[in-house]
Structure 1
Amino acid sequence: MPESVLDALCSAINSHDPRQVAACFTADFNCERPLRPYEGFVGHDRVQENWTRIFAGISDLRAEILRHVRDGDEIWSEWEMRGTGPGGGTALLRGPVIVTAADGRIDWARFYLDPVTHRDETTITVSGVVAAPAEQVFAVLADPRRHRALDASGTIRHTEATGSLTAVGDTFIMAMHNDMNGDYVIENHVVVYEAGRAIGWAPAAPGQRPLGQRYTWCLTPLEDGSTEVTQTYDWSGITHPPALPHLPVRSADELTESIQRLKSVLT
């Protein structure tokens, strides 16, 4: 199926190997940048050069195809790419990409991807030190059955999980309750997984795409055997207008209290 060229490109970007990305394009690939025409080029060698530079600046970049549709020879798609920028903040790009393909590789594209801008802050980050090794801390965070003990918001009722998380793409169901929605269910998608170092998930309605917010925990081992724990709540991906006035749904105090509860669980 021609749409497989999009899947191949997405997988290549998420491999962080510029050679794999370049291999998704024909030798005479024609790239058009309608919003920045001077950035257009011809040739897959330029693809490898460009992505080498991108991965050097955003080493944890991850791409996702939000939707796509075919129109004759053209495949229209919407993309989101995010990672950690050189300054430590979230780098987020969104936009449509239109491609055609020949012999299983992309031979022409119009790229409209551009950085997302926000009027206000869209992340909250807190840190604390836990008197336990990083592997032990990670084991708690990777077990959804233990998340209710860490919940400072009081919204988690129970978790429908039988084991620990093992990779990006894993999902787990949580029964929730709050004053606005009453009882409801969310399906969390694992979006960050580095064993012993980092884990994060993005909530969604069951069977749907994540809503655009995510919770990420990063662990830094310290010389004395303890672990610096950094938790980030990021709602930069939410675009649904009715949801925007209610953001953020978590406070810095609640995130800090979650780390305190993590300390208690580990003692």
Structure 2
Amino acid sequence: MYSPVQLGFKYLRYYITASNGKGHGVHSPFVFSFITQVLNDQRQFYAYSQLEALRKDLLSDHREITLEDFGAGSRIKKDNVRKLSSIAATSLKPAKFSQLLFRIADHFKPSVILELGTSLGITTSYLASANPAARITTMEGASAVAAVAKNNFSKLGLGNIRVVEGNFDHTLAETLTTIPLIDLAFLDGNHRYEPTVRYFRQILPHLQEHSIVILDDIHWSAEMEQAWDEVRGMEEVTLSIDLFFIGIVFFRKEQKEKQHFSIRF
């Protein structure tokens, strides 16, 4: 993984070179609409306050759990025994990006959502709250973490979430047989090149023209940057958007030629 200093320099380069985030000079009507209607939507949706209250509770929850880590590990600690507050502080997607996931799900109305990497369930809850009619399958390697997430879903009254526990290497293939078509996928489960690309290739046959795939932490390490470059370069991907901390790819067939955008967010 990159050091904080390295990541800071990379972010500065992104900020200087990326489009200004207002849509000026963007010659794709679809991307302009995405910027103005989704990225820059300043509305405070009904679910935000409830879910951020849950985040606050988790950040102050000092209970300890023992977990298995099948991903690239934490930037801060690698101990098997962790406080929930520590997991919340280092693993949860910030409100800015969690709420963007909500707006994406609210805007595009995906019926079937797959998430790799439940963690404590904050992003899952945002996705589930955006469209209560959607079916969300979320996958988590650490059973103790999954148990906390399931309890959080119950507290929030979210009944449209299915949790699959276990190492993705063993559970993803079988899970995909139960969801033949995926409208939205959020890949946040293993921050290494080979597994990230492999998981993407596994879900690729289950995507369609209007599917959306979001990859987390695309500049977290050289491996993740390599994975992001490979994914957005695949023939099936017609459009990609780099928001530095996440990358979004689309498969829209009406896109006449492949396009890539870096946008400040």
TM over 0.5: no
TM-score scaled to structure 1, two decimals?
0.26
State the structure with bigger RCO (CA 8 A, min sep 6), 1 or 2.
2
Say which structure is richer in helix: 2
TM-score scaled to structure 2, two decimals?
0.26
